[in-house]
Homo-oligomer: A and B are copies of this chain.
Amino acid sequence: MAIPHALPGQVIEVQPLGPRLPHEMTVALFKAQDLEVMRLVLPAGRSLPPHKVPGEITVQCIEGAIDVTADGQSHVLHAGQLLYLSGGVMHGVSALQDASALVTVALRR
Interface contact B81-A13, CB-CB below 8 Å: yes
**A85 to B8, Cβ gap below 8 A?**
yes
Q: Can you report 16 A-B residue pairs in the complex whose CB atoms are below 8 A from each other? A: A6-B84, A8-B70, A8-B86, A9-B83, A9-B84, A11-B81, A13-B80, A30-B84, A32-B84, A33-B86, A34-B55, A34-B56, A34-B106, A35-B58, A35-B84, A37-B82
15 extra interface residue pairs, beta carbon distance < 8 Å, beyond A8-B89, A9-B83: A9-B73, A9-B84, A9-B85, A11-B77, A11-B81, A12-B81, A13-B81, A14-B81, A15-B81, A35-B55, A35-B56, A35-B58, A35-B104, A58-B104, A82-B102
